[in-house]
Structure 1
Amino acid sequence: MVYVSNKKIKDLQAQKASDTGKFLQQMKKRSEEEMAAALAAANNLPYIDLNIFPVSVEDLRSISEEDSRKHGVALFQKNGKEVRIALLDPQNEDSLAYVESLKKDSGWDVHLYVVSLSSLDKIWGKYASAPLLQNLEAMKISLSGDDLVEFEQKFGNLIELKNKIREIPTTKVVSTIMAGAIKMKASDIHFEPQEDGVRLRFRIDGELQEIGDFPADIYRFILSRIKMMAKMKINMRDIAQDGHFSVDMEEGKINVRANIIPGNHGESIVMRLLDQSDVMLTVEQLGLRGLAEELVQKQIEKPHGMILTTGPTGSGKTTTLYAFVNKLNTSDMKIITIEDPIEYEIKGISQTQIEKGRNYTFAEGLRAIVRQDPDVILVGEIRDEETADISLNAALTGHLVLSTLHTNNAPASIPRFIELGVKPNLIAPSVNAFIAQRLVRKLCDCKEAYEPAKETLDSIKKILAIISPKARVEIPKDVHTLYRPKGCAKCHNLGYKGRVGIFEVLTITESIEKLILEMGGEREIAQAAIEDGMITMAQDGILKAVEGITSMEEVWSATGQTDFLEEIYEKLMEQSLSRSILVMEDDMKTISENISSLEKFAEFIAKANQKEIARFVFGASLLLGVGDIHIEPEEDGVKIRFRMDGILKTAATIPLDEYPAFLGEIKFLSGFKSDVRGGVKDSRFAIKLEQPFEKITETKTDVRVSIISGGYGETVVLRILNKSAVALDLNGLGIRKQNLERILHAVKKPNGVFLTTGPTGSGKTTTLYSILGELNDPEVKIITVEDPIEYQLKGILQTQVSEKDGYTFATALRALLRQNPDIMMIGEIRDEETANIAVQAALTGHAILSTLHTNDAAGTIHRLLNMGVRGDDLATATNALMAQRLVRKLCDCKEKVSPTEEEKEKIEKVVKTISEKSGVQVPAVESIYKPKGCEKCNLIGYKGRTTISEVLVVDRDIEELISMNALSSQISDKAIENGMITMAQDGMLKVLEGETTLEEIDRMVGE
């Protein structure tokens, strides 16, 4: 027998020349599973955690236990010639030699996996599974007190039966076996004659458990006793027989359905124990959650339509339907069932049973039932075209039909229905919901927690990451621990006790209906359903496993959906017609408590639940007056950066595996299909507040979205069009009084051009919107052409360019001039055509407001001349040109300091050039201010932004220079002489006034 002991691991660590040894040394403080995963990676082999992977004992026995233990390997999966073998030490020569011999001798295609010692121990334990009764008897030794008393009450008679079976009357043997099965919550009892005796097994929580063996001679009496109780023919031994009887217990009556078939070594008996309490569940007790529970509750209250449960035999379909019937079973409802057979009797409803001998099939029964005027019809199973057709017609004609189908999952039910002859256009109006389900065993309280490897956790996170926010379930932010069975007296040493359902609920949404009509496949339907909020059985199971309700092994075994889900990771996100996200007042209060600094906010986001991240990030952007949010995936995480007062700052980082859900939420808010990637995508949505909060007076804020593909995934930039943060008021922009007067004088002229210029993000559009607010009057017609519309303004006709539709600035201008506006705002003059139309419009009696990209006001003139505008037209048409920048304002926590000689010289050099005609009183250069940082400014030292500007009024002197095609410097000098305050001068004045810093002015306009 070969084990890898701690000594072996130390030996491996000692091999410093070996990559494996180095890796183990690095991993020595990690969990056992982490060590195995690291060892696998070091040897370029896959890792697997067999604590969560279902292993077939039949496959396991393909190699003997002796060889498996001797060579430190285990065969855990076999599919034809393809086999998967686990090994502990990928460098063990003996193990590798044995695997090579298997390849050669058996012709197997072998795939090797590295596993932990606990994984191998678990597999090796399956070779010698002792009968359950033997395990219970061994467990008795370790019990005492109340535990021992309870154990004796439950299993004392059963253990005594095993030891004294020949001394006990047959009647008592049968009753003891029945009582033992009922106490152990078994659903079936199996008597299986073998060559050397009779094996007794109980099906407990869906799994067959071996109880023990009985002598063949005793079994003859047991067989006769059961035949007599079930009213079967005792002397008939070569035919199959069915019968039933009931057993009275303290807890109530248990009905038993018995079936006997002949076999090689005698007649085999299976008894199904039908406990009425098993099906008297409420809908709430089924295990549904979130949107799935809401949908089911809603659908069963509808007066008509079909609800179909789907899954293999033993998956709990009938129990679910009975739960629906129990809810609907009121005095004003008539419910009729047709079953095969009737397993549980329910008071207050009419139950019928098919009888093939009398040609009373599901189809025939249905035809008869609809004439009985039922409100609800339960059809045991839709097996054929005829039954499907009648059920469908019943659903369409005012009945609620409950039934079952045999498919693997909910989306597969739609193609199956079409295969049964149902017309695709009838599915949407007739079917309320398809519910797929499985039953998984619940872990007993004796369960043990363990740390799975990162690979396992990554797989779990990927599968959970694609759950749509519309599913309305709580997704755990961090998964560090899983649970596995242990075994105790309360769970009969099985580690599990009871079962719970895992579900997926598919309703016919608009997108699903479209796919049905287009004959979409199962995968397409599944993808659309997940985007619409469906949780798959695997996802539901994983959530229950993470919560410790069940184990991952149970989930993998029951569903087998994980490959599909991982395949659509990062592709499947929710999609909704909703284009806004609601941030509640409680959210804003929580955010407000965590934004005293960006470091604190980053910690807050790191601890936030995955579903809350979007709300918290958007809410914080409003509170902090953020201009843009940049979401940038990188190699080791996703950075969320805020542009605050023009500066990008990292606000938070989220793990890569959480990004698909966050990105998905942004995509669905933007109206994008989440499975479409690549290119550039632009859209909008809104952030809505439950009510105004603190200084945020607007309850709706528009967001402009831009998504592009990057090296590590899609990058998102969100422009927050926050009216509360951006004062659309000329007096609130920080424009110097003298410049503001010049602006108002220019824009209030009945015609002429007024342009603002500067780079992107310099506040040009905000200035124009503020000017429009000043000019907006019921007697004035104002039309805008924008790209895109950023702020909605009442009383103004706003239009948006569309390159795709050929609606450019130039074509829009031509069209809108025919609307005879008084004032037109053009988002940007980009080309020669737009420039010339704008100037001609100004010359023909319209006031034109627009923007241009140049460095300063004087440079605007030559930019327009280079666009082909005639100098004399430009001189005549232009009223004023404004250049501007936004600089950060100092917070009130600022510190007053004396300038250095160098700083003093720099400031004086600029302010001494201010003309007396400007109307500005220049202060002495005695003190300036530096940023400090406090809670109000998030420890940054700056809070908000202000405008530095220059306004070049086109007076007669400037007109003459334009006509002479003078240089920009000549135009600028003349404008300064005539009283223009340059941006640099305006900035230095604001430095001396304590509004900003010298560093800010240098950053924006240079020396």
Structure 2
Amino acid sequence: METKNIRIGDILINAGFIKEEQLQEALAYQKVDKSKRLGAILVDYGYVTEAQLLEALSKRLNVPVLDLKDTVIDLDAAGKIPQNIAFKYTLIPLAEDNNHLVVAMNDPLDFYAIEDLRLITNMNIDVVLAPREVILETIRKTYTEIEAKKAARAANKAVEGSSLSFVEDILTNEGDAPIVNLVNSVLLKGHNAGASDIHIEPFEKETMIRLRVDGLIVDYLTLANNLHQSLIARIKILSNLDIAERRVPQDGHFRIRIDGVEMNVRSSSIPTVYGEKMVMRFLSMNVPLDHAGQFGMNDQDYQKILQMLQSPHGVVYITGPTGSGKTTTLYMILEMLSQRNVNIATIEDPVERNLPKINQTQVNILAGLTFDVGLRSILRQDPDIIMVGETRDTETASIAVRSAITGHLVLSTLHTNDAVSAVVRLQDMGVEPYMVANSLTGVVAQRLVKKICPNCREAYAASEIEKELLGEPRLTTLYRGRGCHICNNTGYKGRTAIHEILAIDKTIRTLISRKEPIEDIYSYVEETGRLIPLRKSVSNLTIQGITSMEEFLKLSYYVE
């Protein structure tokens, strides 16, 4: 199509859309603002509509006007033109065939634009017409899809050989495929890397996707920030959240199946200064629990907890900070107890894993089903063993204690730094000391400690201060991880649990019921050796070269 000698003003006058004096007025303005195209000036002046402009050009040049909303765009063809060029000239490549590139333009008489396209692509340019705003919107959408396709391709390299499907069918548009593939690849990568959480974080110039692996945040992907909102919208659709609401936090979940294993993904969004941040957490609903290694305990600790669980009634608490594996330990205990001829009921928020032969109830605050309400109802269900996901308030703590006194074995979690502190925590929550003394069977404090990566583990000479901190003056060698590709350059691979187990005996019950200072309980268990402190457990792992001095110092800070 030769356009160099065709003038848009003549076309519009011949079509009867404008008069000569209107054309001259627009040309006079163009001399002042040379950056503006004549057609745009005439539209701005109201002398002609964009539809009339396109109609006249279509008839004169014999090129069609396309509805881009119904046009499937070849992303490979669009990718031949940089996004900044597409915006500069208001055009979008649609398809390619036999060295011809079909391009939608708003101004097909822009000779310089067409020449630039020929130079960039070394192809013949075939022009079609489309409205300006529609082209601009299509540019934004198309190049977002191109970026998503590139990101998905990069993400796919790390997850080849794995398959993912959604338990519930999620309707998607064909144009959403690159974003859909990107989200799928991110979920697969997170699962295959053993991540507990996936963080999607918006910043000023980019979006970062990071994974929490073995308690550490590691970088995974950096994306162009124009992908961010589409990425968040896809996850919101999966989670049945409001995609239009970006001002307040939202929580949801969806279910996926990876390599035949079904799991729940909990999603949480929160607005930040650069957009919504999204965190997805994997909850492995049906993955078998690993009971090997006696819950990760040594023989002495394992026998202590077995003895606690032999009691037909009482409360056993698992304590520790968020992310210390408390719920996983509870689930392993429940699976072991379910082998007996007993009825087990739970009240949880959320239910993280489906357990056979166990009646699990999900907290639903909106419906009024809280921990204390659920616990009261469970007591009318003839249970032998009750698991309360978390003792959060006075009411729940009181009901749990009374349930234990009246003949039930109750398992729950608390947030305390060590085992003995659970006694103080219950009293602070308003439970009478005599009730704590009569109901409490035992407390298991737990932490997860990172293990040194076996691939990059190296020995070094222990310093005098390290020997002093570990209480081993004759120690000569300690170990650390250098960092390698196996461990994402963190120096750690995997985690192991350490425990501090307090079995409540007659003396401790007396100290609690008499409201003696907590220091008296600490002194008693230390003098009698009834409790091996967490600090001692991690010290042993450090000396054995299983974990590092860094982990020892971190845990020592938390428990002191």
Closer/same/farther in 2, CA of residues 900 and 65 from structure 1, 3 Å limit: same
- 1:859 partnered with 2:421: yes
* Corresponding letter in the other structure for 1:554: L
Per the alignment, residue 353 of structure 2 pairs with 791
Mapped contact 1:625–1:722 kept (Cα < 8 A) = no
Shift of 1:835: 0.6
CA distance in 2, matches of 1:714, 1:459: 30
Per the alignment, residue 436 of structure 2 pairs with 874
CA distance in 2, matches of 1:963, 1:737: 31
Shift of 1:945: 0.8
Per the alignment, residue 209 of structure 2 pairs with 640
Indicate which of 447, 469, 479 corresponds to 1:906.
Answer: 469
Shift of 1:656: 1.3
Closer/same/farther in 2, CA of residues 722 and 549 from structure 1, 3 Å limit: farther
Per the alignment, residue 157 of structure 2 pairs with 590
* Corresponding letter in the other structure for 2:297: I
Shift of 1:64: 6.8
The worse-fitting range, judged by mean Cα deviation, of 924-933 and 631-640 is 924-933
* Corresponding letter in the other structure for 2:213: M
Shift of 1:746: 1.0
CA distance in 2, matches of 1:680, 1:71: 47
Shift of 1:634: 1.4
Closer/same/farther in 2, CA of residues 955 and 549 from structure 1, 3 Å limit: farther
Per the alignment, residue 274 of structure 1 pairs with none
- 1:999 partnered with 2:556: no
CA distance in 2, matches of 1:549, 1:840: 84
Indicate which of 813, 817, 824 corresponds to 2:386.
Answer: 824
Deviation digits for residues 491-549 of structure 1 (CA, Å, limit 9, x no counterpart): xx9x99xxxxxxxxxxxxxxxxxxxxxxxxxxxxxxxxxxxxxxxxxxxxxxxxx9x99
CA distance in 2, matches of 1:936, 1:624: 10
Indicate which of 645, 660, 679 corresponds to 2:229.
Answer: 660
Tell me the percent identity: 31
Shift of 1:1005: 3.0
CA distance in 2, matches of 1:451, 1:1000: 49
Shift of 1:68: 4.5
CA distance in 2, matches of 1:907, 1:667: 49
CA distance in 2, matches of 1:864, 1:981: 22
Indicate which of 255, 263, 268 corresponds to 1:706.
Answer: 268
Bigger RCO of structures 1 and 2 (CA < 8 A, at least 6 apart): 2
Mapped contact 1:618–1:687 kept (Cα < 8 A) = no
CA distance in 2, matches of 1:926, 1:957: 41
CA distance in 1, matches of 2:288, 2:227: 32
Return the TM-score normalized by structure 1. 0.44
Shift of 1:718: 1.1
CA distance in 1, matches of 2:323, 2:251: 18
Shift of 1:933: 2.8
Per the alignment, residue 972 of structure 1 pairs with 522
CA distance in 2, matches of 1:869, 1:448: 67
Closer/same/farther in 2, CA of residues 69 and 990 from structure 1, 3 Å limit: same
Per the alignment, residue 556 of structure 1 pairs with 131
Per the alignment, residue 23 of structure 2 pairs with 61
Instruction: Say which SS state the counterpart of residue 807 (structure 1) adopts.
Output: coil
Indicate which of 32, 36, 39 corresponds to 1:76.
Answer: 39
Indicate which of 183, 187, 200 corresponds to 1:631.
Answer: 200
Instruction: Say which SS state the counterpart of residue 857 (structure 1) adopts.
Output: coil
- 1:961 partnered with 2:511: yes
Per the alignment, residue 169 of structure 2 pairs with none
Closer/same/farther in 2, CA of residues 710 and 740 from structure 1, 3 Å limit: same
Closer/same/farther in 2, CA of residues 863 and 554 from structure 1, 3 Å limit: same
Trace 1:382-393 onto structure 2 (pairs within 5 A): none
Closer/same/farther in 2, CA of residues 829 and 78 from structure 1, 3 Å limit: same
The worse-fitting range, judged by mean Cα deviation, of 953-962 and 715-724 is 715-724
Trace 1:281-680 onto structure 2 (pairs within 5 A): 451=82, 453=84, 456=87, 554-556=129-131, 560-561=133-134, 590-592=157-159, 610-680=179-249
Per the alignment, residue 208 of structure 1 pairs with 60
Indicate which of 301, 304, 311 corresponds to 1:739.
Answer: 301
Deviation digits for residues 445-495 of structure 1 (CA, Å, limit 9, x no counterpart): 9x997655379289999xx9xxxxxxxx99xxxxxx99689xxxxxxx9x9
Per the alignment, residue 253 of structure 2 pairs with 684
CA distance in 1, matches of 2:310, 2:180: 50
* Corresponding letter in the other structure for 2:537: D
Shift of 1:942: 0.8
Deviation digits for residues 402-427 of structure 1 (CA, Å, limit 9, x no counterpart): xxxxxx89xxxxxxxxxxxxxxxxxx
* Corresponding letter in the other structure for 2:482: K
Trace 1:241-320 onto structure 2 (pairs within 5 A): none
Aligned residues: 493
Closer/same/farther in 2, CA of residues 438 and 613 from structure 1, 3 Å limit: closer
Per the alignment, residue 805 of structure 1 pairs with 367
Mapped contact 1:631–1:717 kept (Cα < 8 A) = yes
CA distance in 1, matches of 2:279, 2:382: 37
Mapped contact 2:320–2:447 kept (Cα < 8 A) = yes
Trace 1:117-196 onto structure 2 (pairs within 5 A): none
Mapped contact 1:55–1:77 kept (Cα < 8 A) = no
Mapped contact 1:587–1:616 kept (Cα < 8 A) = no
Instruction: Say which SS state the counterpart of residue 207 (structure 1) adopts.
Output: helix
Per the alignment, residue 324 of structure 2 pairs with 762
Closer/same/farther in 2, CA of residues 788 and 438 from structure 1, 3 Å limit: closer
Per the alignment, residue 51 of structure 2 pairs with none
Shift of 1:951: 0.7
Closer/same/farther in 2, CA of residues 963 and 589 from structure 1, 3 Å limit: same
Instruction: Say which SS state the counterpart of residue 673 (structure 1) adopts.
Output: coil
Per the alignment, residue 148 of structure 2 pairs with none
Closer/same/farther in 2, CA of residues 554 and 970 from structure 1, 3 Å limit: farther
CA distance in 1, matches of 2:415, 2:289: 23
Structure with higher Rg: it is: 1
- 1:719 partnered with 2:286: no
Per the alignment, residue 363 of structure 1 pairs with none
Shift of 1:678: 2.9
- 1:843 partnered with 2:405: yes
Mapped contact 2:284–2:352 kept (Cα < 8 A) = no
Shift of 1:805: 1.2
Deviation digits for residues 771-799 of structure 1 (CA, Å, limit 9, x no counterpart): 11111126211111011111111221110
* Corresponding letter in the other structure for 1:895: E
Instruction: Say which SS state the counterpart of residue 39 (structure 2) adopts.
Output: strand
Mapped contact 1:449–1:484 kept (Cα < 8 A) = no
Shift of 1:587: 11
Instruction: Say which SS state the counterpart of residue 674 (structure 1) adopts.
Output: coil
Per the alignment, residue 981 of structure 1 pairs with 532
Shift of 1:870: 1.6
Q: Which runs of 5+ in 2 are unaligned?
A: 13-17, 48-54, 96-100, 106-110, 115-120, 143-151, 162-176
Instruction: Say which SS state the counterpart of residue 471 (structure 2) adopts.
Output: helix
Deviation digits for residues 294-344 of structure 1 (CA, Å, limit 9, x no counterpart): xxxxxxxxxxxxxxxxxxxx879xxxxxxxxxxxxxxxxxxxxxxxxxxxx
Mapped contact 2:87–2:139 kept (Cα < 8 A) = no
Deviation digits for residues 30-62 of structure 1 (CA, Å, limit 9, x no counterpart): xxxxxxxxxxxxxxxxxxxxx9xx977647934
CA distance in 2, matches of 1:728, 1:206: 70
CA distance in 1, matches of 2:395, 2:72: 70
